[in-house]
């Protein structure tokens, strides 16, 4: 449940209200109307003269920029499709860029099958026009919809979701559609958004031309998409009576322009949105205009061991950024300079060449794949994902640049939907964690033009961290708790997590010690009533949001508020190695802010002990808090194992202490989730 912002009401004191009693006798007024008018005029002039002498308002702390008037953007996708002769539109709901990437691939596919497609962000268009799509012959709307968080739409699909919910009278009988959903089976609401769009469009009378596709990122999302797509296009060609030519040639979406004499002030150097936005910061700050927050603290949390757990503090003083406990901070990392330089060497390219990649479709809202003009170095450092294994479409498009027939054949095979090809892609690319550089190094004959490679690589995405502080206690600071990712691959290479290694190297008061960031609001909130007990379960870095919760409950106690029980279940490997925030937690327990601190040290004894085991040990107390005292439960951390095991533990507690059957227990916990009393902030 989201706590509403406090509203301060200025109530008038009844004692200050004067009541005019009626006069018994009519008398001549002391002042005439003219006297009163002149008196009011004089008082008004005196006040005006006094006010005009006051000092002017202080200049705002951010420089006001002269921004050009925004160019008018076409919001009618129907008119755009008619103007450009397109008959297929692919809408995407994307949080991390994958759904957008799939939408672009499908719109490019259309051309291979003798049709014309366009990818579209639903946020940019009037979705009420879906009913008009039948005006275009052989038209089809494809929806690539990712699910975010606890079954929610992605940020850019929120308007579409609201429109579908609110328009019961919409008549979409002339609309042909299909949906491909992107999700993760480890989450409770698997592919909820895609399933909803598919079902809702049918309810409004639209015609489904091909079955809903379900992509599972916990398995192999790429394989799910390719398998669905291989069956989808022949079915669409058959429906429209189109020859399934399936032209296999490479289709470029952007053309390269090299700038030789461009003023460097007009070249993007890593800005996400507005040019020079990192030099002149201007609120409000969001995903397109991040704030450069200085790093004031960067310390290692664990006392020993091979891993590096870290606590960072970002200074947001003067930014006007507001956050609440439970929100996420998004940061924009950069790729390792060593990787970027090595890519330049392998491809034999001048990384400091200033270039633009311009969309060949002049009517497209997306003029460039990333901010242009820029340099190859900036693109590979700030804008492109060069560390994740490339998807099959990248291998397919780049295969033509391999001069060795065997290498070219293998690349095409891995991009195919044949069982042999899928198995090769799984083992050689995914299981071996080969990024684009590793593929180029292990296929020496592969020498793609760097501009085509840059066109195909996905955008480098922001990384999200649960905020480990409370704004009540730290209004000008945002705390991050993270573990540095580093591992050896099957090929013997060492792969490093982009964001965590970048954060690790953010030296306090050092060069480049700022972090581009913004806040993403969350539904992970403390109960509105402070008297409600809270039970927090967060092993490892899953403790992050609970540090904020504990700070906030402590602050409430200091304000003299009555605060309910505050119970924490934390887990780590060894007490003397990675018991992070030990001092803070024990102090909170001593101060009675934490009424119960339960810590599972999984490897300090022969048999493994995890948080779910401690929950079962305290089942009577937990059941009382949940069933009788209206407690709110919070789980943060690993979705694939921990979150499931914790949920199972609560099912068993409901059975063993609450006397329920397994079905009743499952329904009981689901109802807690529906009511906002069982919240999860989990990742896979």
The DSSP letter of residue 446 is B
Residue 636 is a catalytic residue: yes
**Residue 683 among the catalytic residues:** yes
The Cα 641–Cα 319 span in angstroms is 38
- Give CA angle at 172 (182, 120), nearest 5°: 45
Sign of CA dihedral 668, 669, 670, 675: positive
- Checking 300-304 for CB contacts under 8 A at 24+ apart, the result is 301/481, 301/578, 301/580, 301/581, 302/577, 302/578, 302/580, 303/576, 303/577, 303/578, 303/579, 304/576, 304/577, 304/578
Instruction: Please give the Cα distance from 334 to 292 (Å, whole number).
Output: 14
Report yes or no: 404 and 360 within 8 Å, Cβ to Cβ.
Answer: no
Residue 163: half-sphere exposure toward Cβ, Cα within 13 Å: 18
Please tell me which residue in 466, 470, 522, 679 is annotated as part of the active site.
Answer: 466
Residue 284 makes CB contacts below 8 A (sequence gap 6+) with: 320
Q: Give all strands (DSSP E) within 162-304, no chain letters.
A: 176-183, 207-208, 213-216, 254-259, 291-300
User: Which pairs count as long-range contacts for 275-279, CB under 8 Å and 24+ apart, including other chains?
Assistant: 275/371, 278/516
Q: Report residue 255: phi and psi, to 5°.
A: -115, 145
Of 43, 44, 97, nearest to 457 by C-alpha is 97
8-state DSSP, 387:
S
d(C-alpha 94, C-alpha 106), whole Å: 15
Catalytic residue among 454, 481, 572, 636: 636
DSSP 8-class letter at 401 = G
Positions marked catalytic: 466, 636, 681, 683
């Amino acid at each position: 449940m989201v706590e509403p912002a406090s509203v301060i009401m200025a109530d008038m004191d009844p004692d200050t209200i004067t009541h005019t009693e009626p006069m018994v006798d009519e008398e001549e007024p002391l002042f005439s109307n003219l006297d009163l008018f002149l008196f009011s005029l004089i008082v008004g002039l005196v006040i005006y003269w006094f006010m005009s002498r006051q000092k002017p308002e202080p200049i705002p702390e951010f420089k006001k920029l002269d921004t050009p008037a925004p160019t008018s953007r076409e919001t009618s996708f129907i008119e755009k499709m008619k103007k450009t002769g397109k008959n297929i539109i692919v809408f995407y709901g994307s949080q991390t860029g994958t759904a957008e990437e799939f939408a672009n691939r499908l719109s490019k596919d259309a051309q291979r099958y003798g049709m014309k497609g366009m990818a579209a962000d639903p946020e940019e268009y009037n979705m009420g026009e879906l009913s008009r799509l039948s005006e275009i012959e052989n038209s089809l709307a494809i929806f690539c919809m990712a699910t975010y968080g606890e079954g929610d739409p992605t940020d850019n699909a929120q308007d579409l979701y609201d429109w579908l919910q609110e328009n019961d009278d919409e008549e979409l009988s002339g609309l042909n559609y299909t949906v491909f959903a992107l999700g993760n089976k480890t989450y409770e609401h698997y592919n909820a958004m895609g399933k909803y769009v598919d079902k809702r469009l049918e309810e409004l009378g639209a015609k489904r031309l091909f079955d809903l596709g379900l992509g599972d990122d916990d398995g192999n999302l790429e394989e799910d998409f390719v398998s669905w797509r291989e069956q989808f296009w022949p079915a669409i060609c058959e429906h429209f009576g189109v020859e399934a030519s399936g032209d296999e040639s490479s289709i470029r979406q952007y053309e390269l322009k090299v700038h030789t004499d461009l003023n460097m002030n007009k070249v993007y150097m890593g800005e996400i949105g507005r040019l020079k936005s990192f030099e002149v910061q201007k609120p409000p700050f969001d995903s397109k205009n991040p704030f450069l927050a200085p790093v004031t603290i960067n310390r290692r949390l664990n006392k020993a061991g091979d891993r590096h757990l870290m606590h960072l503090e970002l200074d947001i003083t003067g930014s006007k950024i507001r956050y609440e406990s439970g929100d996420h901070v998004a940061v924009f990392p950069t790729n390792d300079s060593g990787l970027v330089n090595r890519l330049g060497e392998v491809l034999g390219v001048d990384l400091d060449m200033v270039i633009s990649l311009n969309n060949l479709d002049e009517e497209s809202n997306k003029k460039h794949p990333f901010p242009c003009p820029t340099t190859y170095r900036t693109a590979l450092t700030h804008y492109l994902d060069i560390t994740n294994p490339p998807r099959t479409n990248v291998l397919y498009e780049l295969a033509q640049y391999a001069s060795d027939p065997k290498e070219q054949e293998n690349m095409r095979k891995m991009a195919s939907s044949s069982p042999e090809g899928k198995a090769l892609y799984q083992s050689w690319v995914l299981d071996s964690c080969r990024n684009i550089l590793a593929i180029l190094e292990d296929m020496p004959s592969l020498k793609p033009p760097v501009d085509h490679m840059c066109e195909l690589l996905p955008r480098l995405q922001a990384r999200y961290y649960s905020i480990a502080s409370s704004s009540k206690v730290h209004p000008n600071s945002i705390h991050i708790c993270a573990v540095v990712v580093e591992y050896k691959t099957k090929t013997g290479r060492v792969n490093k997590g982009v964001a965590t290694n970048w954060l690790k190297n953010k030296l306090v008061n050092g060069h480049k010690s700022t972090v581009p960031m913004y806040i993403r609001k969350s539904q992970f909130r403390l109960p509105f009533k402070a008297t409600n007990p809270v039970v927090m379960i967060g092993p490892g870095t899953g403790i992050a949001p609970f540090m904020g919760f504990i700070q906030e409950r402590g602050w409430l106690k200091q304000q003299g508020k009555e605060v309910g029980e505050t119970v924490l279940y934390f887990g780590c490997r060894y007490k003397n190695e990675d018991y992070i925030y030990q001092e803070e937690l024990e102090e909170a327990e001593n101060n009675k802010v934490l009424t119960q601190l339960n810590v599972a040290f999984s490897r300090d004894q022969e048999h493994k002990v995890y948080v779910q085991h401690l929950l079962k040990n305290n089942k009577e107390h937990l059941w009382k808090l949940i069933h009788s005292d209206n407690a709110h439960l919070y789980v943060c951390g690993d979705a694939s194992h921990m979150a499931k095991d914790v949920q199972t533990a609560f099912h068993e507690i409901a059975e063993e202490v609450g006397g329920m059957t397994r079905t009743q227990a499952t329904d009981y916990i689901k109802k807690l989730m529906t009511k906002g009393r069982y919240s999860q902030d989990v990742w896979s």
